Amino acid sequence: MEPPLSFDADTLRSEKSKLLQAIVPISEGDVHSDAVRGQYSEGTVKDKHVPDYRAESKVSPDSNTETFAALKLMIDNWRWAGVPFYIRTGKVMPKRVSEIAIQFKRVPHLMFRQTAVEKLAPSFLVLHIQPDEGISLQFEAKVPGPAIRMGAVEMDFHYADYFGMTPSTGYETLIYDCMIGDATLFQRSDNVEVGWSVVQPILDAWKGSPANFPNYAAGTWGPQEANDLLERDGRHWRKIE
């Protein structure tokens, strides 16, 4: 979103609303190319066997409930026009992680032409939301020596290293905000409605088409179709260690 005029609750949430309204709706015809759904089959997560989702307790053996979703979204405003946003979320993946990865564009002029460096890996700014809160910057640097060789560099900041760890669930802040009447971190009704207006056409299209479930194994990063979603644009998901 654009910077709000202040941290006043309504001012902040109004900027959120503007951004959500600028998301280009995915038409029914584009759902098959810009949205992917999945459901996990049996697999292994951290050396522990996980059964099919449909074999879980109280789950229908022919359930078509999604346990994974990936989307490509475009935002039609001055700042973000032409920049794709890829989102994915799922259950029983290799690890529990929430992050925002910003990939920088390649420079128009590559000064390493006529050297052994054929191409540079993209640079990333990664905001780690959970569980290891922090920020990392990943980029290529020249390896010392007479030859032109590039190596990957990662600069990491971890909140725990500087500020320590205080056990919490996150709800403490919300409960306190309720007590003092601060609505900043809470959704406003118009934000909720415009958010649903983005995803409802996708849900409607999925409801009308049969799902080929299960389509990814527990302990993996989702179905192959999620990789295809980026590969069609010449991109790939960032590898998470």
When divided into structural domains, the chain yields a total of 1
Q: Is residue 3 part of a domain?
A: no
Q: Is residue 236 part of a domain?
A: no
Give pLDDT tens digits for 12-57: 999 999 999 999 999 888 998 999 999 999 999 988 999 999 999 9
Q: Is residue 12 part of a domain?
A: no
Q: Is residue 240 part of a domain?
A: no
Q: How many helices (H) and strands (E) does the chain have?
A: 6, 11
Question: Could you tell me what percent of the chain has a pLDDT over 70?
Answer: 97
Q: Is residue 1 part of a domain?
A: no
Q: What is the CB neighbour count within 10 angstroms for residue 234?
A: 6
CATH of the domain at 81: 3.30.360.10
Would you say residue 165 has pLDDT above 80? no
Q: What is the pLDDT of residue 112?
A: 66
Confidence of residue 7 (pLDDT cuts 50, 70, 90): confident
The Cα–Cα gap between 128 and 99 comes to: 5
Q: Is residue 18 part of a domain?
A: no
Give the domain range for residue 226: 24-231
Q: Is residue 57 part of a domain?
A: yes
Phi then psi dihedrals of residue 78, to 5 deg: -60, -40
| Per-chain mean pLDDT for the chain | 90
Give pLDDT tens digits for 49-91: 999 999 999 999 999 999 999 999 999 999 999 999 999 999 9
Q: What is the pLDDT of residue 105?
A: 86
Q: Is residue 11 part of a domain?
A: no
